[in-house]
Chains A and B, each alone.
Chain A
Amino acid sequence: MSGHSTYQPQSRFMKWFEARLPVGALIHSSFVAYPTPRNLNYWWTFGGILTFMLAAQIVTGVVLAMHYTPTSKEAFDSVEQLMRDVNYGWLFRYVHANGGSMFFLAVYIHMFRGLYYGSYKEPREVLWILGVIIFVLMVATAFMGYVLPWGQMSFWAATVITNLFSAIPLFGNAITLWLWGGFAVDQPLLQRFYSLHYLLPFMIAGVVVLHVWALHVTGQNNPTGVDVKSDKDTVPFTPYATVKDGFMLVCFLILYGWFVFYIPNYLGHSDNYIPANPLQTPSHIVPEWYFLPFYAILRAIPSKLGGVAVMFGSIFVLFFVPWLDTSKVRSAKYRPLYRQFFWVLVVCCVGLGYLGSQAPEGGFVLAARILTAYYFLHFLVILPLLGLVEKPRAVPSSISESVLKGSAPAAAGTRAPDRNG
């Protein structure tokens, strides 16, 4: 999306069209000639996988919407009708429901990759922030989508989450009533969630365009964190990145297919096959697995308002990561201390996920409090301090050098990376 295009239209029609709307040049410069660092590893393929997942969710979702009835009386049965009586309805629904999980699996890998290789650092702050915005939109979309089948977990998840807003001082109850469109979670809420669940994916798609645009302005980060300096450091997107992304996407689809075809209800909760009943609370209300760490944080704080604030804070803090990290070296590969803290953070998040799935009692609450505290400690204290105390290893002077000489420490290596983005 930047720089002069080398695209040469071949046919007469394309020449005619290109003179009026240079879409070919845009595609060519973005996805064909676009230079990508030659040392990208497989962790860099998840951007492409996420784009595929967004498209897959929109396509299957549009089909589901053709058969879904957003009323509290008929929603549950309409989903079952789709599963039974619509040709391949079961396939569309299982692909969509498990697609949500796969989407989040991919986005978490993508985000942790960014954290590990310092992909949020100058000049990619805006790129990172756009990514966090996409994540926030994904959270909202997934939550509202989970409500639509109107099973027990749908209903009670909606009840728990919308009730969070009642913790807001002064206006809390008014806001909650406004969200519900009534005095309880019922028809109006289901209908507006359906409307928003259809809207938000297109907003995600819009921000994804900005995200890719920002990426193509600054160029991709890479495992060394060193800037691209010459043509020797890069390879054209097509065929190199396309074929690598394609291979990984197919591998990802094998995992996805395993869930869809063999264990389609493994990631869901059996209570959601019980129609919503406002008079009967399930013994454990748990969200989908991808929200469990946030759920653990919410329940770790003894006050309702505090829990809500800290839970939203756990996402909000990500917006500031580019400035909280004071290290001049991007990649954790050359940051011996940060690398260890990174893995502690990963374990902390997985641990929070496990605690979110358990009843909030006894040792679980204590553990959740410790891990919640650690989560914020990582971003607010450890990250800023590390940059000041850590002695980074020698960084290779260029990407091509790191590729051609393997990972052996470079003799002519410089400590600080070049920062002319």
Chain B
Amino acid sequence: MRRLILATAIVALSFSAVPAAFAAEAMKPTRQSWSFAGPFGLYDRAQLQRGFKVYREVCAACHGLKLVAFRTLASPGGPGFTEAQAKAVAGEYRITDGPNDRGEMFERPGILSDYIPSPDPNEQAARARLNGALPPDLSVITKARSYEVGFPGFIFDAFKQYQESGVDYVYAYLTGYENPPAGVTLSDTQFWNKVYPGNRTAMRPPFQKDQVEYPDGTPQTVEQYSKDVTAFLMWAAEPHLEARKRIGFQVMIFLLVFAGLMYFTKKKVWSAVH
């Protein structure tokens, strides 16, 4: 019994200090509902197409998407453009190619096998253009951001299949701009964001109402733009998500049936010796 008390004391001791560690200054993102969450989640094609439009008209001024090929815009499980549409989109970009047979680099219109070109040729060029700040490439940004869930929430998340901490963060960041608290002065290149670690971010609030035109009548709000572009970036980071979940379900059904058969086989085999 004394050992049990000792055990309890050790457990209590190791967990009693927990709350102090979460005194972070940045606000935690609120969880959004996403069409691609859960075991049967699918991307909303219209949302991805709107998100791509927002990316092209707003984000692409500073952020690259270098791992995404134009052909994937027409791939299954993606934004659902037709091949002709994807070709047309690619053709609107200028790609540097070469060297040609005179040894010179040249520009040509993009084709399906090209990757989306980045706005700046290199890091130094981006910094020189943008007051020293480096806008990250957005290809895997929704997997490269997250927030601390803490104990015991992170255990429940494994059962709830919560894998959207990245998109929840990105959405909260895009909509998290507000006036700095009284007494805080910001320089011209700093903006106050309630979820950004340290709160001072170098990106100015990217969206305004009615900035990007949605022909399908979707509300043209900052929240909607943020939601759409975040969903699009989730697809950019995880283009095979739909196939993964579909195959996953098939694998699970197979394994459950297999486990059942193995269980009864085991029972039958062992019945002789028990």
Contact = CB atoms under 8 A, between A and B. Distances in A.
Real binding pair? yes
Interface of A: 38, 77, 80-81, 83-85, 90-91, 94, 235, 239-240, 243-244, 246-247, 250-251, 253-254, 257-258, 260-266, 269-271, 273-274, 283, 337, 340-341, 343-344, 347-348, 351, 354-355, 358-359, 361-364, 366-367, 370-371, 374, 403
B26 to A, nearest CB: 11
B146 interface: yes
Contacts of B139: 80
A235 B273 contact: yes
B262 A343 contact: no
A130 B20 CA distance: 42
B97 interface: no
Interface string B234-259: 00010110011101110110011011
Contacts of B251: 257, 261
Contact of A91 (B14, B165, B244): B244
Contacts of A84: 67, 69, 72, 239-240
A105 to B, nearest CB: 12
Interface in B150-198: 151, 157-158, 161-163, 165-166, 197
| Chain B interface category by residue count | 35 or more
B3 A344 contact: yes
Q: Which of B4, B14, B20, B145 has the most CB of A within 10 A?
A: B14
A29 B193 CA distance: 68
Contacts, number: 138
Contacts of A265: 143, 163
B247 A91 contact: yes
Main secondary structure of the interface of A (DSSP, over half): helix
Contacts of B11: 347, 351
Contacts of A83: 240
Contact of B143 (A91, A270, A362, A370): A270
Instruction: Summarize B's interface: helix, strand, loop or mixed.
Output: helix
Contact of A359 (B14, B21, B247): B21
Contacts of A247: 259, 262-263, 265-266
Contacts of B13: 367, 370
Interface string B114-136: 00000000000000000000001
B270 A263 contact: no
Given A80-B67, A250-B259, A244 B6 contact: no
A351 B10 contact: yes
Contacts of B244: 90-91, 94, 261, 264
Nearest to A271: B144
B17 A274 contact: no
Contacts of B3: 337, 340-341, 344
Q: Which of A263, A269, A271, A374 has the most CB of B within 10 A?
A: A263
Given A340-B7, A363-B20, A80 B140 contact: yes
A211 to B, nearest CB: 25
Given A253-B255, A270-B143, 9 more contacts: A38-B273, A80-B67, A90-B243, A247-B259, A351-B10, A363-B17, A364-B17, A364-B21, A367-B13
B21 A358 contact: yes
Interface of B: 3-4, 6-7, 10-11, 13-17, 20-21, 39, 67, 69, 72, 136, 139-140, 143-146, 151, 157-158, 161-163, 165-166, 197, 237, 239-240, 243-245, 247-249, 251-252, 255-256, 258-259, 262-263, 265-266, 269-270, 273-274
20 contacts: A38-B273, A77-B67, A91-B244, A235-B273, A247-B259, A247-B266, A250-B258, A250-B262, A261-B244, A261-B245, A261-B247, A262-B248, A263-B161, A270-B146, A271-B144, A337-B3, A340-B4, A355-B14, A367-B17, A371-B14
A371 B157 CA distance: 27
Contacts of A239: 269
A254 B248 CA distance: 10
Contacts of A77: 67
B15 A354 contact: yes
Contacts of A240: 269-270, 273
Given A250-B258, A250-B259, A344-B3, A266 B163 contact: yes
A258 B140 CA distance: 22
A374 B262 contact: no
Contacts of B6: 344
Nearest to B139: A80
Contacts of B259: 247, 250-251, 254
B17 to A, nearest CB: 3
A261 to B, nearest CB: 3
List the 6 closest A-B pairs by CB distance, nearest first.
A261-B248, A363-B17, A273-B144, A270-B146, A351-B14, A247-B262
Contacts of B17: 362-364, 366-367
B255 A250 contact: yes
B41 to A, nearest CB: 9
